[in-house]
Every structure is written in C-alpha cells, then in structure tokens.
Amino acid sequence: MDLLFSLLFSFVFLLICVTQGIFIIYPLLFALAILIPLYLRRGFKIKSLLQMAFTSSKKSFSIIAILLLIGALIAIWMAAGTVPALVYYGVRLIHPQDFILWAFILTSCISILIGTSFGTVSTIGIALMLVARGSNINLHLVAGAIIAGAYLGDRCSPMSSSAHLVASVTATKIYTNLKNMVKTAYIPLIISLLFYWILSRLNPVQIVSHNFLLEINSIFEVSPTVLLPVLPILILALLRVEVKLTMLASILSAIAISIYIQGYSLIQILRFAIFGYYLPQTTPLHDIFMGGGMISMLKVSAIVIVSTALAGIFTGTKTLKIVEFYLKKAKTRSGLFLGTIVIGTASAAFGCTQTIAILLTEQLVQNKYEQENLDSYQLALDLENTAVVLSPLIPWNVASFVPTTLLMTDPGFIPYAPYLYLLPLISLIQFKLNEVKTLKAN
C-alpha cells in the first residue's frame, strides 16, 4: 500500500510540474528519492538498486552524441536560413481551399527533415496558426493537422531523437526501423490525407496574411541556396550513411551558408551551436525562430538517463508485476500488441513524457516478446506504433502539452489528429486479419 501511495503521489507531483512548466527532471529525481527508501525497507540492497538503474540507463548512453548533434544542427540550420526558408516556401505553397491538408503535408515534410516535433511546431506550426487566426476557421482542425504532421516525422525521421532512443534500447539499426515504419504508415497516412482534404474543402481559409512572409524576407536571405543543407540529410540517409556523419555533413554546409550568405561570424555560429539560435528581441520573429543548441539537448539527455534508471528500477523490483501478469494472458500476436497499446498508453499517462513511455513500455514487454520469439525489430516497430504516437494524445504528457501551449490551443485538437491513433488501430486490425487467415489456412 505504501508503494502504491508513493507511485500515485509521484504521478500527481509529476503532473503538477508538467502543467506548471517545471523542468521534468525534478519530479523524476523526486520520484527516485521517495521510492528508493521504500525499496530498501522491502529488503533490496542499495547496491542492487543502483545496478538496476545503471544497467538500464547505459542503454541510452549511445544516443547522447546524436542528441548533441541534433541540437547543433537545428540551431545552425536556423542561422543559415534553412528553417526560415522551409517555412517561407512552405507557406507560399498553400492554397486557401486546401489549407488544412497542406498544414499536415508541410509539417510532415519539415518534421521528417529536422526530426523534432517541438521544432516543427514552433516554426512552421506557429506560422500556419498565425495564418489560420486571420480566418474564421476552427483552430482545432489546424492544430490537429499540425501536431499529427509533427509527430509523423518525430516517429520516422533519421534525425529523430525518439527514433534513435527506440533503436538504442532495442539494440536495432535505425535505418531498418525506418524502413519497417514506412511499411506500417502508408494506410494511416492515406486515410489522414483524405480526411484533411475533406476538412479543407468543408473549411476553406478565407483570409491569408502575408505579413509573416515579409518579415522572414526582411531578416533572412531567402533563396534556394539556403536549402542546400537539406541535401546531405536526404542523399546520405538514402545511402544509409552513418547518421552522425550525415548530420556533420549537413552542419558543415549550413555553417558555410551562415557565414557567406546570412553574414554571421564563426564565433556567432559556434555560440548558436552551443546555446541555441536567437534573434534580437526587437524582431517580430524572435519567439518563432529560436532554439536548438547542444545545451538544450543536455537537458533532454538528462531526462533520458534518469528516465531509463527509473524504468530499470521498476522492472528489477517487479513494481509493476501486474503488467507482466496481464501480458502472460496474451496468447496471440494481436493480444500481445493490444497489451503493448495498453501499457504504452498507461506509461505515457503516468510518465508524462514520450521518453518515459518508450522506456517503461520497452522494459515491461521485452521479456514477453522474447518468449514469443519476436525479434528486436518487431519490438522496436511496436514501440513506434504505440508509445511514440500515443504520447501526444495524452493532454498532460509533455508531447501534447508543449505543442498545444506553443499553438495556443487545447486538447480539442485530438479528434483531428487521426494519424496518431490510426497507426496502433490499423496495426492491431492487421494482426487480427493475419490470425484469421492463418486459422482458415489450417
């Protein structure tokens, strides 16, 4: 009973911190601080608990360098004008009658390129919402398209930190995972595109302001040349070149453009790479084109390390053994996947972050997957189709709370983000259909 109370208290405290904008590492450390004494009273040794935490957290060490490179890349892409140009050309492509459809397509494309849902929402997402606010359209429709598109790339981009985290904890290759994700995404994607096309036709945007585009043009040199850093990402990713080398090639080209086209000095660029990009506060776009930097990824890295440590302790101490009892009842592939959906949803709700949802779900279902002779790539794919895409559908999860805050909207967007819930639903249906076919064949 004391353990249950502590878990509930930790969850409530975590939820309060998320809603108040408090750095998530503090409630995670608080949870460790109140849980470890309970485990000690139950007979666990401190050395054993530390070993559980370290064994679990070391799975995440391999992605720290990648996270730092992602932070530097985003900041330097902004300095080079690459991100502003993507937003500029993207918004210009939009036709008022297909606004919602293009909102989904553009955010999907940019999130695949930069690999971050928050970065996508805070750039092209805010720009699209600014345009939408000039019309009488239901903003929940636009927000749903933006957030769904942002997590399309967050799920299956070679630049995505969550994709690298899944690959790391499951000991799989990132490009093989991406290939598998594409295979399971095309049906939800087609349905989503049709859904947004219908919504667009029923809800055309009547007013489109170009003031935002004029501001971009006045601050940055916008031309096709500043899009060159995108090419290494596209070409080298297709050639399956190691991700770190791919990002380094893109960063080097972006540095050259930042210096020779945007007029920044090398010292300024290095400062952006470390601390993040920013514009003068007097600039109207100050709150839009900002962020990135390796320092920001140090915070993400700390969250990943503490989260994996906490998940390791939960698993090693059998704190959530009721979950294992439930999974043992799963006798079919669809039953196991349904269990993964339930655990992924509960982990996303309890952990309040996408990271904890991934790590906790992986820890809890891994043994069952091994018992069913399902390889690590099946586990990685199921994590991507559950914990990763379900987290944005939990209103108090950081994956949902931050984008809705940036877009100045609320959980009303959820019904209009079908891609996020169609992925697990259609995967479950496909497993069921395969089982029926197998039964008929026998």
Q: What angle do CA 155, 345, 101 make, to 5 degrees?
A: 45
- CB-count burial class (<10 Å; 0-12, 13-18, 19+) for 185: buried
Question: Mind listing the pLDDT tens digit for each residue in 54-66?
Answer: 887 776 676 777 7
Question: Mind listing the pLDDT tens digit for each residue in 141-194?
Answer: 999 999 999 999 888 888 788 888 898 888 898 888 888 898 888 899 999 999
CA atoms within 13 A on the CB side of 76: 31
Residue 408 DSSP symbol = T
Cβ atoms of 190 and 146 closer than 8 Å: no
The pLDDT, as a whole number, for residue 312 is 78
The pLDDT, as a whole number, for residue 96 is 76
The structure's pTM equals: 0.77
Question: Mind listing the pLDDT tens digit for each residue in 237-277?
Answer: 777 777 788 889 989 999 999 999 999 999 999 999 999 89
Question: Mind listing the pLDDT tens digit for each residue in 104-133?
Answer: 998 998 888 878 787 788 777 877 887 777
Question: Mind listing the pLDDT tens digit for each residue in 358-393?
Answer: 888 888 888 888 888 888 999 999 999 999 999 999
> Tokens in use for 201?
């036709």
Question: Mind listing the pLDDT tens digit for each residue in 272-291?
Answer: 999 989 888 888 877 778 77
Count Cβ neighbours within 10 Å for each residue of 186-211 and write b for 16 or more, e otherwise: eebbeebeebbbebbeebebeebeee
Nearest to 258, CA basis, from 126, 80, 125: 80
- Domain edges within the chain: 1-43, 63-295
Residue 291 DSSP symbol = B
DSSP string, 242-289: -HHHHHHHHHHHHHHHHHHTS---HHHHHHHHHH-B---TTSTTTTTS
